[in-house]
Amino acid sequence: MGIFTNDTIITPQIDILTDAPFITNWYSINGLCQAVNSVDGGAKEAARALRKKLRAGDSQQQMNSITVMQALIDGCGSKFRAELATIKFGLVIQQVMESKNTDHRVKGRLMERLSVWATTFSSDPSLEIIPQLYHKLSMDDVMRGIRQDIELANNNAHMLVEAVSFADPETEAVEENALIREFQSKCLTLQRGVQIYLSEVTNEPMPDEKCLAALLACNEELVLALGAYNRMMEQRTICRAMKVQQPSHSTRQGFSHEAAAAAADGAGVGSGYKVPYSENQFGPGKTSHEEAPVADPFADDGLYVSGPADMPSVKDG
């Protein structure tokens, strides 16, 4: 009991419970609940002592304070709930949640309890401060996550554009570039997340204009980066197709040159081009355009006249 205050045994009991390494004495918890219910202003005193421990205590004291708060909500009913759902208590909870010095375990435990309290108190308009506080802190937590994801998405979009700008799809197998594939995959995943955020923010009764503008700008950056990647892959596909066609084109050019050379040598009907035949057909050295030997019916010795050069050998009748 304080000398200059109206504190009762409630404050010392709360100090003992919250200063302990762990709360294991549940008989002391039951005793505290009985004191709060039996003493006039007991709930107000308990709330004041818990606000002090929650605001200025170390992480273990804060964790113990949350445990005591839950015990008083369960054991003291509407008397303590009315003290918890006040502006003073709400501000302390908000300060603890928003402080960078608060241990993440404390924040997690407090948000988990606030979620339960918000549901429990939602049917009582006089306790609406707790549901409103939980909604605000939840949205603040969502906004922090959104800002972090926006920063991450912008960085990956920038890196993808930079990686694509240094790639040469004409000479490089860009589809096998691990760095480009990694940034493209991350951008696709982050774009889906940004679109979900956009849907959630726009469905809010009062959308955060700054957050909405940042999400739209981020989505545009991702669209531009993925568009640059797609154009690079299209160019790569065209280059590969052209390389496949080049050998057949060269072959056709070779055939054309051979045909032209043959024409220049007099190939074709009536051109004098001679195709050699085998000796079995026309005799040694004979061609298809050379006349076959013709037997002279008037010759005595059975000479063959094969042309004008053989004429003098024919005897006059």
- Please indicate, yes or no, whether residues 123 and 198 belong to a single structural domain of this protein: no
Q: Which residues of 232-270 are buried (b: 16+ CB within 10 A; e: fewer)?
A: bbeebeebeeeeeeeeeeeeeeeeeeeeeeeeeeeeeee
Cα 195 from chain centroid (whole Å): 12
Residue 184 lies in a domain: yes
CA-to-CA distance for 148 and 218, rounded, in angstroms? 12
Report the CATH number at residue 66. Answer: 1.25.40.90
**Of 237-241, 247-251, 273-277, which range is least confident?**
273-277
Q: Which tens digits make up the pLDDT trace of 5-21?
A: 567 899 999 999 999 99
Does 63 fall in a domain? Answer: yes
Domain that holds residue 31: 10-127
Note whether 115 and 211 are same-domain residues: no
Mean pLDDT of the chain: 82
Regarding whether 114 and 22 lie in a shared domain, the answer is yes
When comparing pLDDT for 256 and 89, which is higher? 89
Domain boundary among 127, 149, 172: 127
Q: Are residues 123 and 14 in the same domain?
A: yes
User: Residue 78 and residue 94: Cα distance in Å, rounded?
Assistant: 22
Total domain count, the chain = 2
Check whether residue 20 and residue 78 sit in a common domain: yes
Asked whether residue 183 falls in the same domain as residue 101, the answer is no
Q: Same domain for 98 and 153? A: no
For residue range 209-238, list pLDDT tens digits in order. 889 999 999 999 999 999 999 998 888 888
Residues with Cβ within 8 Å of residue 288, at least 6 apart in sequence: 274, 275, 277, 282
Reported as a pLDDT band with limits 50, 70 and 90, residue 79 is very high
The dihedral region occupied by 206, where left means phi > 0, alpha psi between -120 and 50, and beta the remainder, is: beta
Considering the domain boundaries, does residue 218 fall inside one? yes
Of all residues in the chain, the percent with pLDDT exceeding 70 is: 75
Residues 90 and 169 in one domain: no
Domain membership of residue 3 (yes or no) is no
| Cα radius of gyration (the chain) | 49
Range from 104-118, 135-149, 254-268 that averages highest in pLDDT:
104-118
| Residues 190-205 pLDDT 10s | 999 999 999 988 888 8
Give the tokens for residue 185.
């995959």
**189 found inside a domain:** yes
* Chain segment 27-58, per-residue pLDDT in tens: 899 999 999 999 999 999 999 999 999 999 99
On whether both 215 and 157 belong to a single domain, the answer is: yes
Give me the residues paired with residue 295 across strands. 304
Residue 18 and residue 53 in one domain = yes
Whether residue 15 is found in the same domain as residue 118? yes
- For residue 25, tell me if it sits in a domain: yes
What's 269's DSSP letter?
T
Task: Give the DSSP H or E segment for 304.
Answer: strand 304-305
pLDDT of residue 2: 47
**Residue 171 forms part of a structural domain:** yes
Q: Are 120 and 74 in contact (CB under 8 A)?
A: no
Pair 15, 110 in one domain:
yes
Q: How far apart are the first and last CA of the chain?
A: 170
What confidence category does residue 248 fall into, taking pLDDT thresholds of 50, 70 and 90? low
Is 179 within the bounds of a domain?
yes
Domain boundary among 127, 153, 176: 127
Check residue 269 and give its pLDDT. 45
Element (H, E) at 294: strand 294-295
Where a domain ends, among 219, 242, 265? 242
CATH assignment at residue 214? 1.20.58.160
Banded model confidence at residue 243, pLDDT cuts 50, 70, 90: confident
Q: How far apart are CA 88 and CA 106, in angstroms?
A: 19
